[in-house]
């Protein structure tokens, strides 16, 4: 690890806020949603119980109880049955436990934020073919991505379609012959490339698809002028193996903070 691999908090979280706003602005017609932006943080609030999309992320400055309450109100008014609020530990106030108790927030599953410089390439080997996803292949890419979701609300296809077709997004796929078997997206904004939507079909796991897609997205971000790439994944329990985390660390990513995630239910 070097200092150049560690993305500054303000830059990394601001990009997450931008991505959330872009997702909301490009959501298909007919989806009921609200947004709220305070500083660099943005909430996307849908009339649903999806923790995948009902979330607020992008906090780069210390938060107060009043700020958190405004986001909670946005979710309540949107009809969100559940939501995730994601905070880097450094932005939390000293009375955080009391704030959570007052607003009805409970601890959520832990996730890890990782980053890496784009200066060096990631070296991988796979017998699968890696290439960008063309416009006419996006529907199939969304179908592959859907296999990674246990919860599939009716608006999911439309939201994923918006994510994959945006001009700041570049999507790559792995093919076994003519069959698309894995996908991964990078959303570029300024100095940051955000990794999103990495999914491999169960039939093709263990063949290096995601490692190769990580390498392709690092190169795409570098070519777009990004200084860092960042990703988020689940925090494994002590002693447990987590494939996504292992793939990222093997590609040179380093842990920069563990989100303090809280749930609104």
d(CA 25, CA 212): 31
**Domain that residue 127 falls in:** 116-258
pLDDT > 70: percent of the chain = 98
Q: What is the count of structural domains for the chain? A: 2
pLDDT digits (tens, 9 = 90+) for 167-205: 999 999 999 999 999 999 999 999 999 999 999 999 999
* Last-in-domain residue among 58, 88, 110: 110
pLDDT of 101 > 80? The answer is yes
In this structure, are 132 and 196 located in the same domain? yes
The DSSP bridge partners found for residue 231 are 114
In this structure, are 47 and 127 located in the same domain? no
pLDDT digits (tens, 9 = 90+) for 120-151: 888 888 999 999 999 999 999 999 998 887 77
In this structure, are 120 and 240 located in the same domain? yes
* Last-in-domain residue among 94, 110, 126: 110
């Amino acid at each position: 690890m070097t200092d150049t691999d560690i993305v500054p908090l303000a830059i990394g979280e601001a990009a997450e806020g931008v991505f959330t706003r872009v997702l909301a602005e490009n959501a298909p017609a007919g989806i009921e949603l609200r947004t709220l932006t305070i500083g660099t943080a943005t909430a996307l609030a849908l009339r649903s119980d999806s923790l995948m999309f009902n979330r607020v992320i992008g906090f780069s400055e210390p938060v107060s109880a009043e700020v958190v309450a405004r986001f909670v109100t946005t979710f309540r008014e949107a009809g969100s049955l559940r939501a995730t609020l994601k905070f880097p530990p450094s932005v939390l106030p000293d009375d955080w436990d009391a704030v959570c108790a007052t607003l009805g927030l409970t601890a959520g599953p832990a996730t890890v934020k990782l980053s890496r410089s784009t200066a060096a390439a990631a070296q991988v080997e796979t017998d699968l073919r890696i290439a960008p996803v063309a416009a006419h292949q996006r529907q199939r890419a969304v179908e592959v991505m859907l296999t990674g979701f246990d919860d599939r609300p009716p608006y999911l296809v439309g939201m994923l379609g918006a994510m994959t077709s945006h001009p700041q997004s570049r999507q790559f796929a792995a093919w076994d012959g003519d069959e698309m078997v894995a996908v991964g997206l990078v959303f570029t904004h300024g100095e940051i490339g955000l990794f999103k939507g990495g999914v491999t079909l169960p039939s093709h796991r263990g063949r290096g698809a995601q490692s190769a897609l990580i390498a392709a997205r690092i190169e795409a971000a570098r070519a777009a002028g990004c200084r860092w790439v960042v990703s988020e994944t689940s925090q494994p329990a002590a002693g447990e193996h987590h494939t996504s985390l292992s793939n990222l660390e093997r590609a040179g990513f380093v842990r920069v903070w563990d989100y303090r995630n809280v749930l609104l239910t």
